[in-house]
Structure formats: C-alpha cells, structure tokens
Structure 1
C-alpha cells in the first residue's frame, strides 16, 4: 500500500498538455552531446523585463501588434499578423541570389546555438522551429527597416513595391497609427531579434558582405535618428552593425555614454536601513555646539545695542545660571522641560547655516554623495521651485554627459529631449534593458529619475519647453508630465558621479537661499506646530509681564518717552 501511495501524483502537480516529454528528453540529450565552443563569449542580450518595472505599466513591455522572436510568438492576438510576415518572407526570397528560403533556414539551423545564446529564457522548442521562426520574423523586420533606407526620390517606387496588404501598416511618412505601433513593438526588450540574422539575409541579397553591412547600417541609423529621444545630437556616430546585438541595445549605446572606467565603486548594493529612511533622515543632528552658537548669535546682535533695558538683559545673559545652561551638553539641555520643543527648530537652522558657512561642519549634501540614493523619488526641487530661486535652464545639443549645473552662472544644463507618442515605450524599455544588461552604473535610469524629480506638473513642462529643453510633440504638456511621473523607480540602487554632482550643486544653491530657508522653517516649525506657537506666546506673555513689573518699579518713560512722542507726532 505504501508503494502504491508513493506512485500517486501529488495533488499539487499539474500536467501541461502542451509539454512533450519525449521531445524534451531528445532535445536535452542532443544539447549535452554537442560541444559548442564557438558560443563562448556571446553575452545574453534579450531579457525578460524585470517584474518591478513590468508591474507599473505592462502594456509598455508587451507587443500590441506583432511578435518578433520566440517570447510572444504563440500569443493568439499577435498570431493574426503571421500572414503579413509570410508575405514579407516571400518578397524577401525573390531578392535572393539563386537560393530559396528553406536554404536560409538551413543556415539558421547551423547557428541555432548562437541564436539561443542571445536569449535569457529557455526556448522550449526544436531547432527547426526556431530557425523557421527567425527566418520569417527577420524577413518582416528587414522589409520594415527598408522604409528608412529609401531616398526621397525613390519613395514612390518603394511604395509601388509594397503589397496592398502591407500598405496600411507601413508608412514612409510615419503618419499611420499602425506604423507607430510597429515601431514601438520592434523596440521592446522582449521583442528583439539578433542583428546577425538580418546581416545574413542582407548578405544573400547584396553583392558583398561590406555592401550588406553598409546598407543595414544605413537602415538602422535612419531608424535610430527617428526614435532617439535626443534629437539634436551632434556627430551622430557611425554604426558598426557587427558590434551590436539588437536594435534596442544599439539605441542604448548611441544615447548613453560608454565609459572605459566601469568601476565597481560606482555600483552600490541595496541597504535596508537607508532605503526605508525618510528624506529628512539624511541630516545628522546632535551637535553639542548648537546651544552655544545660538547664544553667541544673540550676544553678537545684542552687543551692538545700548540702553538700560538692553544692559539689564545683557546682565541676565552673563549671569551664572545662564552660563551654566550654556555649558550643558545639547542632549541634556533638550531633555529639560520647555527646551525640548526648541530642539528641532534650532538644529534645523544651524544645520542649514553650518552647511553653507562652515566647511568643517559635516554637510548633509556631501554626506549623501557617499551614501546610496533612496528608493524614493530623487531629492531635488521642481523646475518651478528652482526657477523661482534664481536657477536658469539651458538646452544642450549632446548626450547625457552634457548634464551639469554651473554654479557661477546658476544654470542647469540639460540635453534637449524630444517626446512623441512612441517615447514612453522607448524610454521604459531602455530602462529595462539597462537594468538587465548594464554592468556599471545605471546612467539612463538616473537621468529618468532626475527628470521625474524636477517635473511634477504641466507648469514644469511648460517652463522647460519654453527654454528649449523639452520638445513636445504630444498633445499637451500634461501628457509629458504624466510620462515622466509614471516612470518606474530603479530596480537597483546606483550612483552616477556627474549626475549626482549636478543634483548636489542644484540642491545646495536652492537650499542656501534665505527665502527657501525661511519658508521651510516657517512651514515646518511655525505653521505646522501648535506647540511652538504656544511656547512663543508664553514667552511673549512672560516678557510683557516682566516689563510691566519692571515699569511699576522704575520709571520707563525716561527710556521710552522719546520714542512714544515720535510715534504720536507721526500719527
């Protein structure tokens, strides 16, 4: 009975009717018997989108019209496009020199291990199925890319070559909605095809390998110029298609600066203590000299005044009880009744003052550079707040390395970014690719966090648009604000020196303005705290009572009489 019970399947086991165990065993045995030494060094380049990113907006990572490659090939709603892909394959076959499509499939079958090496996910189907899939999908992608390789005078001829069934999908002017949908689909991370497959097809159509590479480079260069969010890039690089894995990786390498110094010091592992800390938690309090600084400041102001009441108050300040209180440690003093209410306001004022005037005092902004950035939204004021404090914004015709904050001219330099209906999908998939493939700091992700931080409302977008930093080709500024505010947070913490330096300098300038200091102080410790108001009212009442008692003993008119007479004359 025991053995029969052991042979029964577990109630939690679900049999997959589409899974062929016999074919799986054959495929595993065939894979283990082969020795593919030539696939060593081929990095994985086509990944699954990280779950934290995918949950925010799934439709930005899942193709909506056409599937390229194995990840989404069997989805029923996308399989309807198969007839268009087959039509493209037939037209591609006509341009081959004395070979047919099955012969191309045979060549792809010989490269099966190289194709599989590019994909992160295990591809659970035969090599022949994979080869046919790649041949058909690559033929469609080649025909679509030809849209960006024709010259203006050849546009009419190219349109006539298009099938009537394809004409409503492909648009040489880019005005048709289906054309934009295909553009977004072919730039999704999970919908990429290895570029070497396109090179193989082009070699069969061109007279030489160099001619094939030149034509393919022209096609993808025109495509990237159309899709790149940084429209005004100078000296667009010459693209070597042999050095890139797929279209999304190629676009990433064009717009993100490639540094030779990808040191591990720039990469920061996640720390739970800092990740859960509030923004105010970065500042370090507990300085025992705060109370001394407070009394010294009051004494310096009071020493410039004269008169009997001032001398009386000065005598109280230099008395033994007050000197004793000044010598008390700050932590003990704030524990006394009444002084605990003043702890945060005093520390807040002197932490801001010390960060700007005394370089020996630890600056919270400097300390934040050596700490991991918070998972929360990046700490930087909005465009409206920065401009109101005197910051100017200036566009640059370059890549992300042109981002900087000029302290002398108080100017924030940002690259000109052009946004249209395709930008949201492209930006999100670039972030997803960087999170999956980048070995160094997440430069592009940090840039999106910066834009997310400075853009809160459509007013911020309007200000950047008027200054040429944002070229808005969407319906409204509100859509652009929604685009940046909807960008997902980074899947891992990182530090980018030149970006963090610009953020630090902008924060330091903005926080150093007395208008900002006063506004924050009043909002946090006056208007937002009834305890402080009650304490101030009690102090004023105590001072007025003391003044009344003082005037009942001494004649106050001889000190204040002249002042009162002047007030009466003015009235």
Structure 2
C-alpha cells in the first residue's frame, strides 16, 4: 500500500470512528461558496472582482501588502482615530482562535493559511466595506481622507459595488455587525439602511432611489438578526427579488382523488402525457414582437418582479412587467444573484425565474425594441441585439425542472391560452398539425393556376376561331 493510500484510509477510518466527515467541526455551516463550475464555464469573469478582492477566496498572502491592502488599512486607521481606547481594545480582542475558526467555517473550501492573516484580512475588508458604504450613503456623516473623496469614489461606484456583491467575494455579515457596533448601538438596523440606500445604484429594477411604495421596511423580527442573511449578497438578493407567492394549484375534487386511486396503467401513461403537455405549455409560445403584432400591449412599472405585479389583463390584452435597467454591469449582477440562488435550500429562485420569463419573451432584437418602446427595458449598454444576446445568454446553465415553483406559470399558461385562441394563430396551428392538408391546398391552387393560365392563353384563339368561322 502506498503512502498516500495509507493516509487516505487512516483519515476515512478516523471520520467513521468520530462520526463526522468534517476535519474540524461537524456543525460547520458553510455560507460563502465558490460559483458552480457549470456557471463559471459560461462566463468566469463575472465571478472575479474587478477592483476590490474581499474575503479569502481572491486574497492570498504576498511578500508585502498591496496598494489595495494599504487603502484598506487607511480605513482601519481612520476608525482608530475616531474610537476611544476602550473600543480600540475591543477591536484587538477579535484576534483569537475562536474568531478564526468561525471565519474558516463559513467558507466552502478549507483555507490553509495562518490565523493572523485570516483575522487581518476579514477585519480590513470589513472596515473598508463599511467606509465605502458610508461614502456612497447620502445620509452618511463620515470624516473622509482626501484619497477617498466622495466624487472620486462615486466615479467608479458601479465597479466597487459590483465587487461587493460577487458570490465568491464575501465575508461573514457577523463581522460587519460586530465592527459597526463599535460606533453604532443599533448596528443591524444601521447596516441594513446603509445597504438599502446604496444598493439602488446597481439595483436592476429601480431608478437611482427606492420609491417610497417600494422601499423595504425594517422588520425587527426578521432583519434585527442579520445572521440569517450570512453575507451582504443575501441582503441585496432580498432587496432585488422580494417574495413571490407560490402559484395557486388547481383544485382537485374528492371524486377526482378517488378516481386517481383506481387509475389503470394506461391512464397513468395518459397522466404522464398530460404532465408533459403542461410542461410544454408552461413556456411562452410567442415572442414579444409576435404578441405585440397579435394585439397584446405591454405596460411597465418601477419595482421588483413578483407574481402579484406581473399581471396579464385579458380585457384590453395588457401584460404588465417591471422596468429592467440594463448597464454594462448587469450580466455580472444577474449571474451572481442566480449563482446565489443555486445554494438556497428554501428554493427561492425568483431572479432565475424572472430571467427565464424574459428569455421566453425575447428571441431577437425586434423583441427588445417592442419592450424598450413600452418602457419594460431601459438600456445604456448598446444595441437591442446586444441586450437580446445578454438576456438569452443568462438562461444557459439554468436547471428549473420543477415548474410548480415557477411563480409566473399561471401567467404564462393564460398568455398561451389567449394567444392560441386568436383566429389566425388557430389557422396556422391547424395547418402545422395537418401538413398533408396544406400540401393538398397548395396542389389545388397550383392546378387552378395552371388551368387559369392555360385558359387565358387559349381564350384569344377561341375568339379568333369564332370570328373567322364561316357562317352557315
């Protein structure tokens, strides 16, 4: 037996004896993940920070602190000047083994590095994040170093904030709360409002500021303990996705339930066919431009997508959708929100289902043009073709097989029913289902045209014959 094989067997045996598969703690609760490989293969750059590496995945020890490390230390030194000596000692007490173990337990991968590096990295990142959020917060009262001039920060605010909300670029939210407690008594609420006011800069569904009717309210029972969010990407996801109600399931009568118990195998096969048909009907069968040319009108609103606001009004044929603001950072934002949803045990995939809905409405640039004229899409990134490519590309890699969880399934099925009831659509569908009939009709008209053409050629000859014929 080789040395490596022996070590492997010893470790597996130790796990079995201890009753745990984790090296350190069987109660390890991972909250900061690597982006899934099948998503990174589509666009790896979307999961890599552009300006500010945070946490332990994208920050490795070097011989000397980098320029960004020095900027982060500047935030800590400004904090040191503001805090009394007692609070400074409280900050230094965070450097202990239990704190390091907590940080390491939050990451999906085992971080093989010194504990002091782990502590300093996360604390530097934490103070830097709080200071940047404070700069971008209009209500902030920070005394800033000249290098952190608010105008200079705001000139690259998109890149900075996008880095803050990358899946692999997170630090535990508990660190931010503990640091903020040194200056604010109500740290969770302060952090929540800071994030609420600053994330509108990159919010894909709201213009600049939250409209009052859309502004999430502070919920002491839910948000007072921000530990549930694990990191600020989770908080941002709650701002962007909201909470859609589950789709209503069709009512099944008691007699129908009894009948199902006595179904034969053939009837079970028929039920599987019906489920397959329902699966196909749960996708929109016509693009936005086809729906528009058939009489459907689109209406927009400012706010997060939800199945209570995304509605289809049959009378007047109007589909209401949220306004989507598209910039050059939109792909990064959506990809990280969707990657975050992959790891949600509660099944909340509101962003993924919204992207799927838009993908079904948009096939080419003329579909984007229809939605843009209706105010459903506002883009600053280029042509309609680029927007269509972006939204279609986001759907690659999605695995949304359980369509019963799709909050928009009823809207899609109602829209398909409305579209298929149109006379011209019915005729087109009938001809597609009966290709022989279409061939026969085409053959009939071809023969008719040949006869008509022959008749038009022979008629003058016949007239001439009648004119020249001798009279009897």
Flag whether TM exceeds 0.5 (same fold): yes
Which one of 243, 254, 260 corresponds to residue 258 of structure 1? 243
Structure 2 equivalent of residue 245 of structure 1:
230
Q: Residues 390, 69 of structure 1: CA spacing in aligned structure 2 closer, same or farther, 3 A cutoff?
A: same
Structure 1 equivalent of residue 165 of structure 2:
187
Structure 1 equivalent of residue 261 of structure 2:
none
Which one of 203, 213, 219 corresponds to residue 228 of structure 1? 203
Could you list the runs of 5+ residues in structure 2 that have no partner in the other structure? Answer: 8-17, 249-269, 452-472
Find out whether 1:132 has 2:120 as its counterpart.
yes
Q: Scaled by the length of structure 1, what TM-score is found?
A: 0.61
Q: Distance in 1 between matches of 2:375 and 2:274?
A: 31
Q: Distance in 2 between matches of 1:71 and 1:60?
A: 15
| Range that drifts further, 42-51 or 125-134 | 42-51
Find out whether 1:504 has 2:413 as its counterpart.
yes
Find out whether 1:213 has 2:188 as its counterpart.
yes
Structure 2 equivalent of residue 203 of structure 1:
181
Question: For 2:72, what is the secondary structure of its paired residue?
Answer: helix
Could you list the runs of 5+ residues in structure 1 that have no partner in the other structure? Answer: 1-5, 14-28, 264-361, 546-571
Would the aligned equivalents of 1:104 and 1:135 in 2 still touch at CA under 8 Å?
A: no
Structure 1 equivalent of residue 467 of structure 2:
none
Would the aligned equivalents of 1:224 and 1:251 in 2 still touch at CA under 8 Å?
A: yes
Q: Distance in 2 between matches of 1:366 and 1:408?
A: 29
Q: Distance in 2 between matches of 1:475 and 1:259?
A: 31
Structure 1 equivalent of residue 267 of structure 2:
none
Q: Residues 260, 420 of structure 1: CA spacing in aligned structure 2 closer, same or farther, 3 A cutoff?
A: closer
Alignment map for 1:5-84 (pairs within 5 Å): 43-74=29-60, 80-84=67-71
Alignment map for 1:438-457 (pairs within 5 Å): 438-457=345-364
Structure with higher Rg: it is 1
Q: Residues 199, 508 of structure 1: CA spacing in aligned structure 2 closer, same or farther, 3 A cutoff?
A: same
Would the aligned equivalents of 2:158 and 2:201 in 1 still touch at CA under 8 Å?
A: no
Q: CA deviation at 1:149?
A: 2.6
Would the aligned equivalents of 1:452 and 1:484 in 2 still touch at CA under 8 Å?
A: yes
Question: For 1:218, what is the secondary structure of its paired residue?
Answer: helix
Q: Residues 469, 146 of structure 1: CA spacing in aligned structure 2 closer, same or farther, 3 A cutoff?
A: same
Structure 1 equivalent of residue 401 of structure 2:
493
Structure 1 equivalent of residue 134 of structure 2:
146
Q: Distance in 2 between matches of 1:44 and 1:369?
A: 39
Which one of 56, 80, 88 corresponds to residue 93 of structure 1? 80
Cα RMSD of the aligned pairs, angstroms, is 4.2
Structure 1 equivalent of residue 289 of structure 2:
384
- Spell out, residue by residue over 1:51-105, the C-alpha distance to the aligned partner (whole angstroms, 9 max, x if none): 12111111111112221000111298x9552222222222222222215868525
Q: CA deviation at 1:139?
A: 1.4
Q: Distance in 2 between matches of 1:218 and 1:47?
A: 25
Q: CA deviation at 1:429?
A: 0.7
Would the aligned equivalents of 2:313 and 2:319 in 1 still touch at CA under 8 Å?
A: yes
Question: For 1:395, what is the secondary structure of its paired residue?
Answer: strand
Q: Residues 123, 149 of structure 1: CA spacing in aligned structure 2 closer, same or farther, 3 A cutoff?
A: same
Structure 1 equivalent of residue 462 of structure 2:
none
Question: For 1:161, what is the secondary structure of its paired residue?
Answer: coil
Would the aligned equivalents of 2:311 and 2:321 in 1 still touch at CA under 8 Å?
A: yes
Q: Residues 372, 538 of structure 1: CA spacing in aligned structure 2 closer, same or farther, 3 A cutoff?
A: closer
- Number of equivalences: 403
Would the aligned equivalents of 1:105 and 1:131 in 2 still touch at CA under 8 Å?
A: no
Question: For 1:478, what is the secondary structure of its paired residue?
Answer: helix
Q: Distance in 2 between matches of 1:151 and 1:481?
A: 37
Would the aligned equivalents of 1:372 and 1:493 in 2 still touch at CA under 8 Å?
A: no
Which one of 330, 339, 344 corresponds to residue 432 of structure 1? 339
Find out whether 1:395 has 2:383 as its counterpart.
no
Would the aligned equivalents of 1:381 and 1:454 in 2 still touch at CA under 8 Å?
A: yes
- Spell out, residue by residue over 1:327-349, the C-alpha distance to the aligned partner (whole angstroms, 9 max, x if none): xxxxxxxxxxxxxxxxxxxxxxx
Q: Residues 438, 395 of structure 1: CA spacing in aligned structure 2 closer, same or farther, 3 A cutoff?
A: farther
Would the aligned equivalents of 1:403 and 1:498 in 2 still touch at CA under 8 Å?
A: no
Q: CA deviation at 1:436?
A: 1.5
Would the aligned equivalents of 2:295 and 2:317 in 1 still touch at CA under 8 Å?
A: yes
- Spell out, residue by residue over 1:473-526, the C-alpha distance to the aligned partner (whole angstroms, 9 max, x if none): 334433322321220341352323530111111112222222223345557866
Would the aligned equivalents of 1:229 and 1:419 in 2 still touch at CA under 8 Å?
A: yes
Q: Scaled by the length of structure 2, what TM-score is found?
A: 0.72
Would the aligned equivalents of 1:262 and 1:439 in 2 still touch at CA under 8 Å?
A: no
